[in-house]
Structure 1
Amino acid sequence: MKILVTGGAGYIGSTVASALLDEGHTPVILDNLVTGLEAFTEGRVFYRGDIADGALLDRIFREHPDITAAVHCAALIVVPDSVAEPLRYYRENVAKTIALLEHLERNGCHRVLFSSSASVYEPGTDFTVDEDSPVAAGSPYAQTKAVIDRILADAAAGTELRAVSLRYFNPIGADPRMRTGLQLREPSHALGKMIAAWESGDVFRVTGTDWPTSDGSGIRDYIHVWDLARAHVAALARFDDIVGGDRPPHLVVNLGTGKGTTVRELAAAFGGVTGIPLRTEDAPSRPGDVAGAYTRTERSARLLGWKPEYDVRDGIRDSLAWRGRLLELLGPVED
């Protein structure tokens, strides 16, 4: 297969592209490099530009008429930023996705695999969710994902579009072959902050300690990014079997480990991997933060034939290994 991957120079998109290559497929990467890393495109078909650029999309399909599906990973993703700049997030994530879908439709590409987010859910009292759980997005970022899922469902109901929304939780780790990984020098998620504290000898701040979890810290479903990439490839392989025909034209599938890990438990696992206990201190929650959730995994196992192979410690280990590789790619900080 030849697959268009929007955001293919970012963390998720580049790792999906690696997994596609390993399965003998050809990713065609479209990325504006606002947050993506150009090094992730080396040796791959790459177009630099915006997903809303109709002329560029027409050129891509003219030069690659055998593209059979699009994996849409391009998005802004930082929750506190979305609270501070909601209009920017709605423009970049929602408005440009509508434009992208119009360009795909015009070029006869009717299969869309969307990298959505499990942050759209309202978790139950046990913090678990499944695909039928209520949608109650807790931040503008999460709202953009929920809105796009709704747009896909409506478009699929009224046009030839067929779409699968993969709602996943908190990716960690890197491509085990160290080709791609998190491309940010200063990531905002919990594991990235732990690595930064470990490197500098500082204290890691546990933001939010009064949630109704077992230890008061937020709970998350930390999924290894390589497992996540494998799930995207599995969804593409089974795409025509799970949507369309006598099945609904739009489908939601949750991707996760099925196990919740609190921030304090993640910190303890981090110390176990490094051999040095991580020093922590309590801090208030950030704008847009929620208690969190983890998923029940029956649908992904049944429909995709997929299950995760890596655990939290694997994700921490690969994140640490990737960190050294990333600093080589980015080079020294400029004064």
Structure 2
Amino acid sequence: MKILIAGGAGFIGSTIASACLDSGIQPVILDNLVTGRREFSEGRPFYEGDICDGDLIDRIFAEHPDIHTAVDCAALIVVPDSVADPLGYYRENVSKGIQFVDHLVRNDCRNLLFSSSASIYRADPGDFSVDEDSTIEPLSPYARTKALFETILRDTAASGVLNVISLRYFNPIGADPHLRSGLQIRTPTHALGKLIDVHHAGEPFTITGTDYATGDGTGIRDYVHVWDLAAAHVKALTTFDEVTRTTPYRALNLGTGRGTTVRELVTAFESVTGTPLTTIETDRRPGDSAGAYARVGLAQELLGWKAERSLEDGIRDSLRWYARRDTVLGA
């Protein structure tokens, strides 16, 4: 099988590509390298450019007419940035996404795996767990781009021209266990990335928001290892026709089924490193929500997938990648 991965030189896209190669699936990579890295595409057919470039998409399919499915990982993803630049986020994540789907359909590629997000949910304040039928109530422009594009894909699938599986990621951590790739951003905005930075700098860690209705007042997340996410994509690709046979649009949660608060994440990090951290507390960031964790029964039922790696595994692999990152990417 051959697939096209848009955003395939980024953190998640490159890890999916590696898992596909390990499983005998050939990825073709498309990335504009705004946040992706050319190093992550080495040894793989690679096209530098934008998902809205119709001529480039046409050339990819002319040179790879046997592409079975497209995987759309191309998006901007930083919540505070989306609050500051909503138009930019709607342009990149929605407008260009529509053009990409047009180009796929024109080239008779009718299968799409879409990288969606758990940020679209309104969690039940009782236990903060969500399934695929939970209320959609995105609180940031970033989350709204994901929810809106899911609506567009659902309507497009209902028209009969496209089959879609939307994979709603929870909070990816870790790295490719073989360290072929990992988080390439040197100034991460997510909690574990910041923990690693302050750990190495000997600085305090800032907890943003302590007044949520969670057990300890801090936000709750479902931290899923990126290699488990990649394995879910392999499962979705190999079962795609079966999963979409009776319905052309499916949305599936990809998480561990376990919620971890920020304070619990700090404790787990201290356990892995053996080093205590100083913490300070501030207000919530714009666009932040209390968070949620996944109910994952549908992914188990339809894909035969469940997360295998622990929170501590994700922390350890993130630290291993941090130590190797500059060797792979340069200082």
Which bin holds the TM-score, normalised by the shorter protein?
A: over 0.9
Q: How far 1:34 sits from its partner (Å)?
A: 0.1
AA of the residue aligned to 1:142 = A
> 1:192 corresponds to which residue?
193
CA distance in 2, matches of 1:323, 1:298: 33
Answer yes or no: is 1:315 the counterpart of 2:314: yes
Q: What residue in structure 2 maps to residue 201 of structure 1? A: 202
Cα deviation, residue 331, structure 1: 2.8
Does 1:281 pair with 2:280?
Answer: yes
Deviations 1:20-70 (A, max 9, x none): 000011000000000001100011110000000000000000000000000
Q: CA deviation at 1:329?
A: 2.9
Partner secondary structure for residue 27 of structure 1: strand
The residue number in structure 1 matching 2:253 is 254
C-alpha separation between the residues in 2 aligned to 1:69 and 1:329? 29
Q: Equivalent residue of 2:182, what SS?
A: coil
Partner of residue 113, structure 1: 113
The number of residue pairs the alignment matches comes to 330
- Using the TM superposition, give the Cα deviation of residue 201 of structure 1 relative to its aligned residue in structure 2, in angstroms: 0.2
Structure 2 letter corresponding to 1:4: L
Residue 235 of structure 1 corresponds to: 236
Corresponding residue of 2:96: 96
Query: Percent identity over the alignment?
Result: 62
3-state DSSP class of the match of 1:4?
Answer: strand
2:312, 2:154 → 1: CA distance?
A: 36
Partners in 1 of 2:277 and 2:111 — Cα distance?
A: 45
Structure 2 gap ranges (5+): none
1:185 touches 1:327 (CA, 8 Å); kept in 2?
no
Q: 1:70-97 deviations in whole A, cap 9, x for unaligned?
A: 0000000000000000000000000000
CA distance in 2, matches of 1:325, 1:96: 34
In structure 1, C-alpha distance between the alignment counterparts of 2:231 and 2:2, rounded to whole Å: 16
Question: What is the CA deviation profile of residues 242-282 of structure 1, one whole-angstrom value per residue up to 9, with x for unaligned ones?
Answer: 113xx111000001000000011001100000000121111
SS at 1:165 equivalent: strand
SS of structure 1 residue aligned to 2:314: helix
Q: Which amino acid aligns with 1:259?
A: R
The amino acid that maps onto 1:86 is P
Following TM superposition, by how much is the alpha carbon of 1:328 offset from its aligned partner in structure 2, in angstroms?
Answer: 2.0
In structure 1, the residue matched to 2:83 is 83
Decide which moves more: 58-67 or 158-167: 158-167
Contact 2:39 2:329 in 1 (8 A): no
2:214 alignment partner, SS class = coil
TM score, norm. by length of structure 1: 0.98
CA separation in 1, counterparts of 2:328 and 2:208? 30
Cα distance in 1 for partners of 2:157, 2:67 equals: 19
Q: TM-score w.r.t. structure 2 length? A: 0.99
Q: Secondary structure at the match of 1:152?
A: helix
Distance 2:181 2:107 in 1: 30
Displacement, 1:327? Answer: 2.0
Cα distance in structure 2, aligned partners of 1:186 and 1:195:
11
Code of the residue aligned with 2:165 in structure 1: it is V
Aligned to 1:39: 39
- 1:180 Cα deviation from its structure 2 partner: 1.0
Q: What's the CA shift for 1:322?
A: 0.3
CA separation in 1, counterparts of 2:3 and 2:322? 28
C-alpha deviation, 1:324, in angstroms: 1.5
